[in-house]
Chains A and B, each alone.
Chain A
Amino acid sequence: MATRRLTRSEQLQQTIMYPIDWLEERSGLIGGVRYFLFRKVPGDINWFQTLGSATLTAFIVQALTGTILAMYYKPSATIDPHTGNPIAYDSIKHITNDIWAGWLVRGMHRWGASVFIILMFMHMGRVFLFGAYKYPRELNWIIGVLLLAMGLGEGFTGYLLPWDQTSYWATVVGININGTAPFLGPFLAQFLQGGTYINTNTLSRFYAIHMLLIPGAIFALIGLHLYLVVRLGVTSPPWSKEAAGTGPLNGKADGRATRSGLSRFGRGAR
């Protein structure tokens, strides 16, 4: 039977849609993305609630600039006979002074770390003040606290990498502090140092922890964190008159009127 020949625009549409349909049929990913993008959030959310995604952005900046730095950085404390400086230190100098825009990438990584940590604390403060850690979002608060600890761990391990006086001696004291912990302390200090004192093994250990171990854990935890955000939804600001969870706002009735219908437990779990 004569099937109608497709018009040009229909042909074009089919060509574009084919790989998308192919992917959707086999993975359901497109549906997932669509669900993520078009899921409903309360109508009254507020600027403070952008701090979480801002923190994510800062982490992505760290991941990207860190990858570029890793292409040039050399984690070795061995002295280069030509310059008389440790190789790691020279590679940092090289990145800062010689490589095109190297100073920018390193600067973004260095200052991005501070911004990331500030944003983590601010995001946490927002969640605390909004009471957004309450039922059913307790688990996401815990994941957030773990992310904060990991972020600080990144700060501690990354600080040593330039292998200059400041970073070296701050880490000596930092490791000694770890060593004072009861039971596990001495083992932890020995493990971090890769020996009985800080040396080139310490540097490669810190480098591996800084760019593989902790970032891997952070990526996984961010995935869980976002999954729970999408699954449980975003809270309305607690002061909002049309906060989600108060029931229908039937017409002209103001928030107060609807709220009075709630039980003695108040406006919770939104």
Chain B
Amino acid sequence: MASDRIVERRRVFQQYKEDVKERGKPFYPYAMFHDTLMSLVVVATIVGLSIVWRYTTPGNHHAAAATGWLGPLYDSPADPGTINFVPRPDWYFYFLFYLLRIFKWPQSVILGTIGLPTVFLVMLLAVPFVDIRAERRLLRRPVALVAAALVIVSMGVLTYKGATAKEALGSEIKGHVPAWAKAQGFTGNKLAIAGANLFAVSGCLNCHTYLSDGGHNLGAPELTAEGAKNKGIAFQIAHLKCPACVNPGSPMPSFAGLGEQRLNEIAHFLEASKGRKQ
């Protein structure tokens, strides 16, 4: 036996069909006119964005670095060897990207990477089964209204935060290496100095922080006192080659592409970083 609620909603839908038949209007030309107009606006917007993108790119379009109002036409070619990168997704993933900063690395980072997005997706799929009331007027659906407002505000804030997250420029940071060496007391350690220079230009500081440097984009650990943990050169090299092998769940990319010698230098630099000398 169908419950009262089911009988009632079937009746109302039947009524809906009769009402539409009686006093509705044909899709063509009425609704189709609006749809077509809106579609033209969409296509015009897309073409307009392309034109702005191309024609605000200054000077020589062939230069990879030239940036117009909407960003460069393309970046320099992918190079797995020189790891001077900004791990930045397209803007509509900024909210996910920024979520990573909220969780502590690496124990709970999985909550930000997999946990919350999965929960969000399941919640979206569940919406019509949780909200089974027939009421459609917004002011009489306070829970739905608050939930929608919260989602819109938090996605907006996360996207904005992701968009304005600071990035570290390798060439600028390289100038800080002498100051690092002084603060950490490894001025005489040639291997550590070489490692520090590599560390500065290899994009490590887009995720990590070191002394007063670092973009801290993805919430990766602070490395100023990494050496104080005395994990050893061998551990550091193994970790750089395959972070997730040593540290399960770590989303840090492999730096094996740098080669044995350079990894050794970075490892010496990390081990020499015992924390700021007062």
Q: Once the chains bind, are A159 and B89 in contact (CB under 8 Å)? A: yes
Q: Does B1 contact A (CB under 8 A)?
A: no
Q: Once the chains bind, are B15 and A58 in contact (CB under 8 Å)? A: no
* A217 to B: closest C-beta gap in Å: 16
Q: Does A167 contact B (CB under 8 A)?
A: yes
Within 8 A of B (CB), among A105-146: 106-108, 110-115, 117-119, 125, 128-138, 141-142, 145
Q: Once the chains bind, are B50 and A104 in contact (CB under 8 Å)? A: yes
Task: Compute the total of residue contacts between A and B using a CB distance below 8 Å.
Answer: 297
Q: Once the chains bind, are B87 and A268 in contact (CB under 8 Å)? A: no
Nearest A residue (CB) for B79: A165
Q: Once the chains bind, are B77 and A165 in contact (CB under 8 Å)? A: yes
Q: Considering the chains assembled together, what is the distance between the CA atoms of A239 and B138 in angstroms? A: 8
Stretch at the interface among A7-15, A21-29, A149-157, A207-215: A149-157
Q: Once the chains bind, are B134 and A135 in contact (CB under 8 Å)? A: yes
A residues near B86, Cβ cutoff 8 Å: 165-166, 169
A residues near B5, Cβ cutoff 8 Å: 265
Take A37-B27, A131-B135, A270-B16 as given contacts and tell me if A168 and B92 are in contact as well, using a CB distance cutoff of 8 Å: no
Q: Considering the chains assembled together, what is the distance between the CA atoms of A13 and B74 in angstroms? A: 55
Within 8 A of B (CB), among A39-71: 39-43, 45, 47, 49-51, 53-54, 56-58, 61
* A50 to B: closest C-beta gap in Å: 4
Q: Considering the chains assembled together, what is the distance between the CA atoms of A245 and B218 in angstroms? A: 51
Q: Considering the chains assembled together, what is the distance between the CA atoms of A85 and B79 in angstroms? A: 9
Stretch at the interface among B119-127, B177-185, B230-238: B119-127
* B125 to A: closest C-beta gap in Å: 5
Nearest B residue (CB) for A145: B124
Q: Considering the chains assembled together, what is the distance between the CA atoms of A45 and B46 in angstroms? A: 26
Q: Once the chains bind, are B27 and A47 in contact (CB under 8 Å)? A: no
Q: Once the chains bind, are B51 and A164 in contact (CB under 8 Å)? A: no
Say which residue of A57, A104, A162, A247 sits within 8 Å of B39 (CB atoms).
A57
Q: Does B90 contact A (CB under 8 A)?
A: yes
Q: Once the chains bind, are A41 and B25 in contact (CB under 8 Å)? A: yes
Q: Once the chains bind, are A238 and B254 in contact (CB under 8 Å)? A: no
**Chain B's interface: helix, strand, loop or mixed, by majority?**
helix
Q: Considering the chains assembled together, what is the distance between the CA atoms of A110 and B90 in angstroms? A: 10
Take A92-B74, A115-B49, A167-B78 as given contacts and tell me if A142 and B134 are in contact as well, using a CB distance cutoff of 8 Å: no
Q: Considering the chains assembled together, what is the distance between the CA atoms of A266 and B133 in angstroms? A: 9
B residues near A244, Cβ cutoff 8 Å: 16, 19-20, 23-24
* B86 to A: closest C-beta gap in Å: 7
Q: Once the chains bind, are A265 and B38 in contact (CB under 8 Å)? A: no
Q: Once the chains bind, are A134 and B131 in contact (CB under 8 Å)? A: yes
Q: Does B22 contact A (CB under 8 A)?
A: yes
Take A39-B26, A245-B16 as given contacts and tell me if A145 and B121 are in contact as well, using a CB distance cutoff of 8 Å: yes
Chain A interface residue bracket vs B: 35 or more
* B95 to A: closest C-beta gap in Å: 11
Take A164-B74, A167-B75, A238-B137 as given contacts and tell me if A269 and B148 are in contact as well, using a CB distance cutoff of 8 Å: no
Q: Once the chains bind, are A128 and B127 in contact (CB under 8 Å)? A: yes
Q: Once the chains bind, are B148 and A125 in contact (CB under 8 Å)? A: yes
Q: Considering the chains assembled together, what is the distance between the CA atoms of A190 and B195 in angstroms? A: 30
B residues near A115, Cβ cutoff 8 Å: 42, 45-46, 49
Q: Once the chains bind, are A172 and B73 in contact (CB under 8 Å)? A: no
Q: Once the chains bind, are A177 and B251 in contact (CB under 8 Å)? A: yes
Q: Once the chains bind, are A134 and B136 in contact (CB under 8 Å)? A: yes
Within 8 A of A (CB), among B76-106: 76-80, 83-93
Q: Considering the chains assembled together, what is the distance between the CA atoms of A111 and B17 in angstroms? A: 40
Q: Does B252 contact A (CB under 8 A)?
A: yes
Q: Considering the chains assembled together, what is the distance between the CA atoms of A104 and B87 in angstroms? A: 27
Stretch at the interface among B28-36, B221-229, B269-277: B28-36
Take A36-B27, A138-B129, A249-B23 as given contacts and tell me if A152 and B92 are in contact as well, using a CB distance cutoff of 8 Å: yes
Q: Considering the chains assembled together, what is the distance between the CA atoms of A164 and B80 in angstroms? A: 10
* A120 to B: closest C-beta gap in Å: 10
Take A43-B23, A89-B74, A170-B87 as given contacts and tell me if A142 and B128 are in contact as well, using a CB distance cutoff of 8 Å: yes
Q: Considering the chains assembled together, what is the distance between the CA atoms of A165 and B89 in angstroms? A: 11
Q: Once the chains bind, are A111 and B50 in contact (CB under 8 Å)? A: yes
Q: Once the chains bind, are A41 and B27 in contact (CB under 8 Å)? A: yes
Nearest B residue (CB) for A118: B92
Q: Does A19 contact B (CB under 8 A)?
A: no
A-B pairs with lowest CB-CB distance, top 4: A268-B134, A107-B50, A131-B136, A40-B24
A-B contact pairs, 16 of them (CB 8 A): A40-B26, A41-B31, A42-B20, A50-B35, A50-B38, A53-B35, A111-B49, A134-B136, A141-B127, A142-B128, A149-B121, A162-B74, A163-B77, A239-B137, A244-B16, A265-B12
Other contacts beyond A57-B43, A233-B17, A269-B10: 13, CB < 8 A? A53-B39, A61-B42, A89-B74, A89-B78, A111-B53, A111-B70, A114-B90, A145-B125, A155-B90, A170-B89, A179-B244, A181-B113, A270-B136
